[in-house]
Amino acid sequence: MDTSAVTPDGRLREKLNAAVVFLGPPGAGKGTQAKELAKKYCVPHLSTGDMLRENIAAGTPLGVQAKPLMESGQLVPDSIILKMVAARIEKPDCSGGFVFDGFPRTVTQAQWLGELLKQHGFKQPVVVHFVIDPALLMRRITGRRMCKIGGEIYNIYERPPIVPNRCDSDGGELEQRPDDREEVVAPRLLAYEKQTAPLAAYFRRLGRLREVDAAKGVSEVSQRVLDIVRGAE
């Protein structure tokens, strides 16, 4: 029997077989929820932000190009993102579906994704829109810390680790992302409003947008996300 079809406590794992997109401003909780949903369905969590940060850490030409843009809160050009996503989708672990976090971010990216999904035999994505009052985002963003080893997400105000500055899961050191500095938050939010927020209307027109109140606690948001994904045809 395929052991990936069974949970550690012996239950049959639910199948996703769909593309899920998490859309929302920086700090809305997309990464936190995407990790959880992807783990539940045993599918890849495709964060374009994480892919770019991996390229920066490895010093690739792509990373060198992306670094100054990310650190000043601007979007990375569509051409770079599309190449990166196309290569990732080809991998065999994507055959049962995936959870996008931070992609698409422009109308061009969204249109291209629609075509790519068709080519791979998927329907249009289920888009979960994280709706939140922007006033709550500064505290979430500047308080965020991430594990250097496993990328687990904490918040020094809202979700602190048990031992300060250490990951609960693997003991890794926690670090702050360079773009989480207070002075970069405003340009990131502006880029979101100008370039990404119009995607809500785009996916609403396609009948694929579902909203979640992202100001709620993590477990309430998780439940709503799960209800949306289970209810999507």
Give the β-pairing of 153-155 and 144-147.
antiparallel
Q: Are 67 and 56 in contact (CB under 8 A)?
A: yes
Residue 188 binds ligand AP5, judged by CB under 6 A: yes
100 binds ligand AP5 (CB under 6 A): no
Torsion of CA 31, 200, 212, 123, to 10 degrees: -80
The sign of the dihedral angle between the CA atoms of 185, 177, 57, 89 is negative
Task: Kindly state whether residue 178 participates in binding ligand AP5, applying the rule CB under 6 A.
Answer: no
User: What sign for the dihedral angle of Cα 210, 22, 5, 219?
Assistant: negative
| CB nearer to ligand AP5: pick between 63 and 143 | 143
Within residues 27-56, the interface with ligand AP5 by CB under 6 A covers 27-32, 47-49, 52
Torsion 73-22-107-135 (CA) sign: negative
Residue 15 known to be catalytic: no
Q: How far is the CB of 59 from ligand AP5 (least distance, A)?
A: 17
What positions carry a catalytic annotation?
Answer: 30, 105, 144, 177, 188
Residues that bind ligand AP5 (CB under 6 A): 24, 26-32, 47-49, 52, 69-70, 73-76, 81, 102-103, 105, 109, 140-141, 143-144, 153-155, 158-159, 179, 188, 217-218, 221
